[in-house]
Amino acid sequence: ATPTAIMVGTGKAAENGILVRGGEALETTRKIDAIVLDKTGTLTQGRPSVTRLIPADGFTEQDLLRLAAAAEVGSEHPLAGAIVARAGEAGLDLPKLEAFESITGKGVKAVVNGREVLVGNRALLEGFGVHLDGMEDLAGDLARGGATPMYVSVDGRGAGLVAVADAPKPESREAVEQLGALGLEVWMLTGDNEVTAGAIAGEVGISSDHVLAEVLPGEKAAKVAELQGRGRTVAMVGDGINDAPALARADLGVAIGTGTDVAMAASDITLIGGDLRNIVTGIALSRRTVGKIK
C-alpha cells in the first residue's frame, strides 16, 4: 500500500477505537483468515466472581471459603482474586499463609495453619494424589453451566468445590458472528477446562470443534503456530501476560486495551475500549482503504 493509504487507514482505525502500530499491521489485517480469541478477559468480562460453594462432608461453606481464600492470597490469578474478594465480603478473618507455590495452569499449593491446602483444577489434585470422592460429577454440572470449578483439598483430603463464573461480554456473540460473516475461521483459546470452555463457546457462537482448551500458558503460541502451519494467516486477540507469546507469534497480535501492558507491548494492534466488534470494523476498513488504494 502507498504511504498515503496507510496514513488514511491508520487515521480511520484510530477514529474507530483501534490503535495500529506501523503500516505493515494494516496490510496484514487484510490477509487474516483465522482469528484466535482468548476466553478470559477477551470474550468474557474478565471479572470472575464466586457463584457456588460446595463443601465436602465435614466442612462448612465458611471453612471451605476461608481455606481457599487463605491459600489464594498468594496468587495474582483472576480466579484467586474472586475467591479472596468473596471472603472479604463475607467478613472472614483469614489464617496466615505460611508457604505458597503457584502451579502454572493448574492452581496453587499453600500451607495454612500448618495444613497443606490445594486449590485448582482436577489435574492439580490428581497430580498430588488426592482422591476426588465423587466431586467430579458436581464439577461437571458447574462446568456445563459455564462456571470454572475449583477443587479444594486439605492435607490430601477433598474439602469441596468453589465455582467461579465470568460472563461473556454482551457484544461477544455479535462480534463472533460478524467475524464469521467476513469469512474468518473463529477459534477460542483458553487454559480453562474443556467443558467450561465449550459452554462459553456455545454462548458466544463459536463451534465446539474450534475450541482449544486446557492449553498451558507456555503452549498458547504453539497453538497459533499450528494454525499457521495449516496455511492460515492468524490474528490472535488477548489481554493477559500469558497471552503475550501467542500475540507475538500471530501474524497479527491484537491486544485488548483494558488488559495488561505486556499484552499491548507484544501486539500490532490495540483495541482501546476492549470491544471485539472494533476488530470487525478494522478488518473491513483495511480491506477497503489499503486494498483499494494499493
Instruction: State which residue, 64 or 269, has the beta carbon closest to Mg ion.
Output: 269
282: which residues sit within 8 A by CB, 6+ positions away? 13, 16, 18, 20, 29, 269
Tell me the C-alpha distance between 290 and 266, whole Å. Answer: 23
Nearest distance from C-beta of residue 107 to ligand ADP, angstroms: 4
In SS3 terms, 98-159 reads as: EEEEEECCCEEEEEECCEEEEEECHHHHHHCCCCCCCHHHHHHHHHHCCCEEEEEEECCEEE
| Binding string, residues 46-85; x marks residues near ligand ADP by CB under 6 A | --------------------------x--x-x-xx-----
Tell me the C-alpha distance between 54 and 163, whole Å. Answer: 8
Instruction: State which residue, 79 or 184, has the beta carbon closest to ligand ADP.
Output: 79
Q: Which of 9, 146, 198, 240 binds Mg ion (CB under 5 A)?
A: 240
Using the contact rule CB under 6 A, the part of the chain among 53-61, 100-108, 176-184, 270-278 near ligand ADP is 100-108
Q: Which of 29, 40, 148, 172 binds Mg ion (CB under 5 A)?
A: 40
User: Per rule CB under 6 A, is residue 107 in the interface with ligand ADP?
Assistant: yes
Q: Is 38 annotated as catalytic? A: yes
User: Per rule CB under 5 A, is residue 38 in the interface with Mg ion?
Assistant: yes
Assigned C-alpha cell, 7? 496514513
Nearest distance from C-beta of residue 282 to Mg ion, angstroms: 20
Amino acid at 182: L
The residues of the shown chain that bind Mg ion, judged by CB under 5 A, are 38, 40-41, 239-240
Active centre residues (catalytic):
38
Chain contacts with ligand ADP (rule: CB under 6 A): 40, 72, 75, 77, 79-80, 105-108, 119-121, 148, 150, 190-192, 217, 240
